[in-house]
Each structure stands twice: as structure tokens, then as C-alpha cells.
């Protein structure tokens, strides 16, 4: 803001005290650019919410508080939230007198950290037809897809998911960056987002398949590359475009072979990893086959997505490199529930195979992280079904909860900010009626959602 000079001041426009800043010293253009980058981009990912006004202080009374790290339930706890963070936590008797703008009574509820979904596609809404993916790409532009994504983001937040790792925009370019920033600015409601932008696949190694070759570069679900330097260029472009992480496709179904096979080479994946790691970003790898997993892990990726055909050797390698698995079971569970005839039998066999794979992964100490992989409108906001599916396949409730909280936060490099309810961390929390340590399905009935200290969903507790 500028104002005219007052008497005694130089006859020029001077900065208002409201907007006054100290001038930068005389420095070179390169130094100015460096300082600007540090100021704008040097803050951690949680600074995304800095553009939103701090909500008023809140004191919550939790009938039960779930400590996911220790695996215990604490009775009658108080949580004091101010400026979007937890500033005090402990027995209600000791906190009840603390001043707050609002008190929320959750004495009949179980309170736990906000959930984290590490494998979403908020901009995906694939019609349930044979050529649905192609139809999505050819009839909806990035602007429309971003608007769709805002609806999916709100549904996701209302389900209790306060942070997502969105692992590529499925042909909508950098629209996921726009959605991330709009949520951070408070323009639309949604979870905190880390985005992968376009994704990186080998030429011919991702959707849509079987289209006119002349249209392959126009209608592409990911950025197609061929060769190490091409992969490196794609990584740099996507980082420049605003990616928080990068996504590679290490394998893909081969229509002629009738099964998946490795696509990107180890060297191509390694080039992407090198560029990502130089900038403090991680790389997620789509890999269903054992060979694809081994290639991706040897190239240095930070997580394996799906891993359906992981064998003992691949899982041992993941464990030795501390590479977590994001198994994305719920789409297969939905397929099993909806299919008929031979399709239902095939889905049942796949679920049984996944049960054995998860048991091996747990035995070998491979860390599991929740990722629901929603691809159509009906799946967005049903993220909890991934946790229910994990429990059905034999993962104990506490491990399931950790997969969507503390272990997911570690994968996202946000352990100091989210994933547990502790003093100093972001006030991301939810409340449910039942105890998810006894039945994970209790997470389906979320009565309160708070992200960064702001209440987005509040359902009145039933009278007792």
C-alpha cells in the first residue's frame, strides 16, 4: 500500500507502515533469486497452510484418546489447540480450566490422529466403460478435472483423511498443483496435499493403450520417456512444475504377453531418483511384478505402490532398504464384491494371493502404508475401505491404524508435523463412535474432522 508524503518527508510516494519492509542490500541478481527461493520454497510442506487465517483456539474433551505410537487408549483426555497446533494435551482435570474460544465435548468418542492416504488420484474420475480412461482424457480438460478434484478432495476430507499423497494427475497435467495450492489458500476444502504431477512412464508403458499412435502424445496418462536423459528431463520438468514427489511406472501389462513386465530400465528410474533426491523429494514406484519391484528398489525409489506379485526375494530386498509397501487393496476388494461368475472367482484368488503376500511382508518387517487408489467418483471419500480391506486380509488393527498415521507420516517426511497427537504438532484429528483398535470399521463413522486446528466436519453425538 502507498500513501502521499506528509509534511517534512521527501516529495515522493513512501510505503505505508502496514506494508513497509526493509530494502534488500545491493546484491547480484543471482543472489536475489537464491534469497527469494529460500523465502518462498524453503519452508516445510506444512507451510502450505500459511495463507489461511488461524482458527480460534479450541479445547476438546476426548472420552478416549488413541495413542497410535504406543498402541494404547487413554481415558478422559483434554486437547488444547491454538494457531492450528496442539499446545497442551493431558488428563481433562488438568486442562479443563485452560481458556479457549470454544470447548468441544467428545466424551462419548474416540479421538485419534487425522488419517493419511498415501496413494490417491483426486483428479481421476474414470467412467465405468471399456474405454473409460480414454473418454476421461478426451472429453475433460485440466480446468474441469481440477473442479472435479475439488469435489473429490472435500469428500476425502469429510471421511477423516486430513493429508494425501496424490501420486500423479492421470493426464490432467499440473492441475493437481493448482488444487493443492487452492486448498492451502483456503479457496476450497480438502486434505493437505503432496502431489506428483504428471507421472513418468516408458513409451507405451501406461494408459491409454491401443489408441491411434498419432494421438499417443496428445492423450497420455503420464509423461512418456525413452532413455536416461529423457527420464532426467521429465523429472526436472515436473519438479519445476511444482511436484512434491515424483511417480514412476516400473512395470505395466503387456497385451501381447498377457501379463505385466518391467518397462522403465533401472538406469532410467535411477535418473529420476537422482533428480528427485537432489531436491529433497521422494519417488514412488508403481510396481506389481517381482522384477519391477527389484528394478525400482535397486534404482533407489522410496516406496513401492501395489506390489501384488511381490515374492520373498523382492520383499527381502525392500526390507533391507527400508522401502515401504503401499498395497492398494480396496479396488480389488470392490471388484470382488461387484464381480460375478468367473470374474468373482478371479478376484477371490487375487485377494487370497494378497493375503499371503501381506503376511510375508509383515514377517519380513516390510512397513505397510495406507493407499486407497481411488479412480472414480464413487471411490473418493471411501478411503477407509482400504483400512478395512487390510484388516480383512489379516493385518492387525493397530498395524492398520499405524499404516494410515505414523508410518504414512514417515513416508511423507512429515513425522515432525502429523501422524500422532503430540504437543507442537499440527492439530489434525478425527473422532469416531467406536474403538478402531477393536474394529477398524469404526472409522467409517467419523463424527469430527479437524485439520490444522479448523473443524471441517462436526456431527452431534447421540444423547445417552
Give the DSSP letter string of 58-86.
EEEEEEEEEETTTTEEEEEEEEEEETTEE
Neighbouring residues of 241: CB distance < 8 A, sequence distance ≥ 6: 174, 177, 197, 198
Which of these CATH numbers, 3.40.640.10, 3.30.110.40, 3.40.50.300, 2.30.40.10, describes 58-113+424-458? 2.30.40.10
pLDDT band at residue 181, thresholds of 50, 70 and 90?
Answer: very high
pLDDT at 51 over 80: no
- Lowest mean pLDDT: which of 19-28, 312-321, 433-442? 19-28
pLDDT at 461 over 80: no
pLDDT at 368 over 90: yes
What pLDDT is attached to residue 80?
98
Q: What's the rounded Cα separation, in Å, for the pair 105 and 59?
A: 9
pLDDT at 10 over 60: no
Which has more confidence, 368 or 21? 368
Half-sphere exposure at residue 300, Cβ-oriented, CA atoms within 13 angstroms? 15
What pLDDT is attached to residue 54?
82
**C-beta separation of 222 from 199 below 8 A:** yes
pLDDT at 242 over 80: yes
Q: Which helix (DSSP H) or strand (DSSP E) does residue 118 occupy?
A: strand 115-120
pLDDT at 367 over 70: yes
First to last CA, the chain: 56
3-state secondary structure labels for all residues of 258-285: CEEEECCCHHHHHHHHHHHHHCCCEEEE
**C-beta separation of 150 from 181 below 8 A:** no
Mean predicted confidence (pLDDT) in 317-343: 96
Mean predicted confidence (pLDDT) in 342-361: 96
Which SS3 state, helix, strand or coil, does residue 426 take? strand
Q: Does domain 115-382 have CATH number 3.20.20.140?
A: yes
What are the tens digits of pLDDT across the range 124-180? 999 999 899 999 999 999 999 999 999 999 999 999 999 999 999 999 999 999 999
Mean predicted confidence (pLDDT) in 362-369: 98
pLDDT at 305 over 90: yes
pLDDT band at residue 247, thresholds of 50, 70 and 90?
Answer: very high
What pLDDT is attached to residue 21?
36
pLDDT at 41 over 70: no
Share of the chain above pLDDT 90, in %: 85
Radius of gyration of the chain (CA): 24
Show me where the domains of the chain are located.
Answer: 58-113+424-458, 115-382
pLDDT band at residue 52, thresholds of 50, 70 and 90?
Answer: low
Distances (CA, A) of 167 to 35, 87, 213, 353: 30, 32, 26, 25
Mean pLDDT value across the chain: 90
Please provide the DSSP assignment of 6-19 as one string. Answer: PTTS-SS-EE-TTT
Helices (H) and strands (E) in the chain, counts: 14, 20
Q: What's the rounded Cα separation, in Å, for the pair 64 and 435?
A: 9
In this structure, the chain runs to a length of: 464
What are the tens digits of pLDDT across the range 198-221? 999 999 999 999 899 999 888 999
pLDDT at 359 over 90: yes
pLDDT at 3 over 70: no
**C-beta separation of 451 from 192 below 8 A:** yes
Q: What's the rounded Cα separation, in Å, for the pair 234 and 198?
A: 9
pLDDT at 429 over 70: yes
pLDDT at 40 over 80: no
- Lowest mean pLDDT: which of 43-47, 184-188, 383-387? 43-47
State how beta strands 325-326 and 58-67 pair. Answer: unpaired
**Joined grid coordinates for residue 130:** 471399456
What pTM was computed for the model? 0.90
Amino acid at each position: 500500500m502507498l500513501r502521499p508524503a506528509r509534511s517534512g518527508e521527501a516529495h515522493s510516494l513512501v510505503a505505508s507502515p502496514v506494508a513497509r519492509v526493509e530494502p534488500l542490500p545491493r546484491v547480484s541478481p543471482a543472489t536475489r533469486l537464491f534469497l527469494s527461493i529460500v523465502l518462498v520454497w524453503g519452508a516445510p510442506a506444512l507451510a502450505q497452510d500459511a495463507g489461511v487465517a488461524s482458527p480460534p483456539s479450541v479445547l476438546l474433551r476426548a472420552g478416549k484418546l488413541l495413542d497410535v505410537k504406543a498402541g494404547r487408549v487413554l481415558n478422559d483426555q483434554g486437547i488444547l489447540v491454538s494457531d492450528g497446533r496442539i499446545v497442551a494435551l493431558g488428563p481433562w482435570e488438568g486442562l479443563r480450566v485452560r481458556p479457549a474460544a470454544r470447548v468441544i465435548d467428545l466424551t462419548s468418542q474416540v479421538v485419534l490422529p487425522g488419517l493419511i492416504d498415501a496413494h490417491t488420484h483426486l483428479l481421476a474420475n474414470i467412467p465405468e466403460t471399456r474405454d473409460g480412461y480414454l473418454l476421461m482424457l478426451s472429453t475433460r480438460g485440466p480446468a474441469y478435472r481440477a473442479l472435479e478434484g475439488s469435489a473429490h478432495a472435500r469428500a476425502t476430507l469429510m471421511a477423516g483423511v486430513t493429508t494425501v499423497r496424490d501420486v500423479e494427475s492421470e493426464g490432467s497435467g499440473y492441475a493437481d498443483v493448482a488444487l493443492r495450492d487452492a486448498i492451502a489458500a483456503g479457496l476450497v476444502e480438502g486434505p493437505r496435499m503432496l502431489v506428483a504431477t504428471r507421472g513418468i512412464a516408458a513409451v507405451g508403458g501406461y494408459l491409454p493403450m491401443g489408441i491411434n499412435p498419432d494421438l499417443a502424445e496428445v492423450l497420455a496418462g503420464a509423461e512418456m520417456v525413452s532413455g536416461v536423459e529423457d527420464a532426467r528431463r521429465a523429472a526436472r520438468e515436473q519438479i519445476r512444475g511444482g511436484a512434491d514427489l515424483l511417480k514412476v511406472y516400473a512395470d505395466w501389462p503387456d497385451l501381447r504377453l498377457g501379463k505385466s513386465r518391467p518397462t522403465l530400465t533401472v538406469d532410467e528410474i535411477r535418473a529420476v531418483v537422482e533428480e528427485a533426491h537432489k531436491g529433497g523429494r521422494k519417488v514412488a514406484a508403481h510396481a506389481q511384478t517381482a522384477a519391477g519391484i527389484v528394478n525400482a528398489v535397486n534404482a533407489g525409489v522410496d516406496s513401492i505402490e501395489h506390489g501384488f506379485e511381490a515374492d520373498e526375494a523382492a520383499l527381502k530386498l525392500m526390507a533391507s532398504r527400508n522401502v515401504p509397501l503401499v498395497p492398494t487393496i480396496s479396488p480389488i476388494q470392490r471388484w470382488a464384491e461387484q464381480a460375478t461368475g468367473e470374474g468373482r472367482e478371479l478376484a477371490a484368488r487375487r485377494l487370497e494371493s494378497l493375503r499371503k503376500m501381506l503376511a510375508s511382508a509383515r514377517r519380513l518387517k516390510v512397513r505397510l502404508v495406507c493407499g486407497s487408489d481411488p479412480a472414480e467418483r464413487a471411490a473418493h471419500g471411501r478411503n477407509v475401505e482400504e483400512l478395512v480391506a487390510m484388516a480383512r486380509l489379516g493385518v492387525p488393527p493397530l498395524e492398520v491404524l499405524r499404516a494410515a498415521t505414523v508410518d504414512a507420516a514417515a513416508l511423507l517426511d512429515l513425522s515432525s508435523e502429523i501422524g500422532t497427537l503430540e504437543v507442537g504438532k499440527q492439530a489434525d484429528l478425527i473422532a469416531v463412535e467406536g474403538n478402531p483398535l477393536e474394529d477398524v470399521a469404526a472409522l467409517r463413522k467419523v463424527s469430527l474432522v479437524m485439520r490444522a486446528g479448523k473443524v471441517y466436519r462436526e456431527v452431534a453425538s447421540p444423547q445417552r
